Amino acid sequence: MSLRHLLFLFLACVAVSAGAVDMSVYPTTVDGRERHVIALPKVVDESRFMVELVPGKTELADCNLRSYRAALERRTLAGWGYPFYVLAEPEPGPKTNKACPEGSQTRRFVRVRGDGLLVPYNSHLPLVVYLPRDVQLKYRIWRADKTLSEADR
């Protein structure tokens, strides 16, 4: 077999194995936080996409606007080089102080806002996020338009 064929076989094996990451290499907890995993579908041009992570808590809340604040830290899995993210402990953020009608409390999702919650799209690796035990993870896919606009001078 020629060197060219061997190189082709090697690259094909690497390409196949890259799509199937063994989740056992990621710990189930980091710093007391639980692992959440998002598997993104393949798209044609991943550079046009971003993932907005929306952590939060479902809790009893009144009519006031409120949120939590926490930063998301990007880390690298030792020995593998795979990225993963760790959310700091959420702290109550600012809220409005409106007088709410009696009995206006309902269960709703109160999101965590902070730095680093918009991450690159990569369908080749799982998107692994570690959150405190009482925090849920939702996400949204953002897509850039193909059309570029000219800036004025």
Domains of the chain with CATH codes = 25-143 (2.60.40.550)
Identify the pLDDT of residue 21: 80
What does the CA dihedral 38, 44, 46, 48 come to, rounded to 10 degrees?
-120
Neighbours of 52 (CB within 10 A): 12
Gap between the Cα atoms of 141 and 124, Å rounded: 16
Identify the pLDDT of residue 16: 39
Residue 60's alpha-carbon distances to 54, 103, 110, in angstroms, are: 18, 11, 9
Neighbours of 43 (CB within 10 A): 13
Identify the pLDDT of residue 2: 54
Q: What are the residue ranges in the chain where pLDDT is below 50?
A: 3, 5-18
Which residues lie across from 35 on neighbouring strands? 130
Gap between the Cα atoms of 123 and 103, Å rounded: 45
